[in-house]
Amino acid sequence: MAAGIQRDSMAERIKEILLKRILSGELAPGTRLIELQVARELNTSQAPVREALRQLEAMELIVTETYKGSHVREVSEQDIREAYMVRAALEELGGQLAAKFLQGKVDRLKKEAEAIRKAAAQNNTPQYAKHDHNFHRMIVEAAQNRILLRSWDSIAFEARIQIRITKGKLNLSRVQEDHWNIISALDEGNGGIAGRLLRKHIFDLPDPGCAEGQALG
């Protein structure tokens, strides 16, 4: 059991290293990821590397083909558009369900929103993506619906948020302001408004395939 836990932990670390390289552009689309080379570089066996690659494939960030191995996948504008359409629906429901549980209990959300505001002011895309992901996941988690949370997690939004920001050339200082209105609605226990604000927040993001400022929806 201990060996299994250690292998899982190593796989998670390898995934995070490769994910960071993919998001930074160090590993460009089309770059081959060879298990043995990655294992040698990171001084580990091939088993956790293989698991890390499986996780990245599930996130649709790499592609593995029989006899050809794995390579970094281009995340297209259509991929992002489709993911955010699903996200809008999931989070609207999340806001509706979470409000009764978060009423008067929004301190953690405020802390994340403040971190988002700070990252936006510094134009720090990785930190913005991290805290924005935390903020939205807190709401979905607070809805206390396992299937909803599992569906949200399966789309791997932390990575997609960062890709979305990079492709969409977002004005982060403007976008982050929406979080405070969402917090106010949740603090009041108004799930209807919270859900609508979450949906609008996502659909108001500029479409990466269009001119800056044109909405996703």
**Tokens 């066996």 correspond to what residue?**
45
- Rounded to an integer, the average pLDDT of 114-143 is 93
The correct CATH number of 77-203 out of 3.40.50.720, 3.10.20.30, 1.20.120.530, 3.90.226.10 is 1.20.120.530
- Rounded to an integer, the average pLDDT of 35-40 is 94
Q: What is the pLDDT of residues 54-65, one digit of tens each?
A: 989 988 889 998
- Rounded to an integer, the average pLDDT of 2-9 is 57
- Confidence class for position 155, pLDDT limits 50, 70, 90: confident
Residue 73's nearest CA partner among 127, 10, 5, 23 is 23
Spans of all domains in the chain: 2-72, 77-203
Least confident of 19-28, 156-165, 189-198, 203-212: 203-212
Is 0.85 surpassed by the pTM of this model?
A: no
| Rounded CA separation 67/140 (Å) | 40
Q: With both helix axes pointing from N to C terminus, report the angle between 191-203 and 77-102 in degrees, rounded to the nearest 10.
A: 160
The correct CATH number of 2-72 out of 1.10.10.10, 1.10.1740.10, 3.30.450.20, 1.20.58.1610 is 1.10.10.10
Q: Does residue 105 surpass a pLDDT of 80?
A: yes
Q: 55-89: string of b/e by CB count within 10 Å (b at 16+)?
A: bbeebebbbeeeeeebbbbebeeeebeebbeebbe
Q: What is the pLDDT of residues 157-189, one digit of tens each?
A: 666 776 666 665 678 898 899 999 999 999 999
Of the chain, the percentage scoring pLDDT greater than 90 comes to 53
| Rounded CA separation 180/177 (Å) | 6
| Rounded CA separation 174/51 (Å) | 39
Q: Does residue 4 surpass a pLDDT of 70?
A: no
User: 2-72 with 77-203: one CATH topology?
Assistant: no
Q: What pLDDT sits at residue 146?
A: 95
Q: What pLDDT sits at residue 153?
A: 85
Q: What pLDDT sits at residue 213?
A: 43
| Rounded CA separation 157/159 (Å) | 5
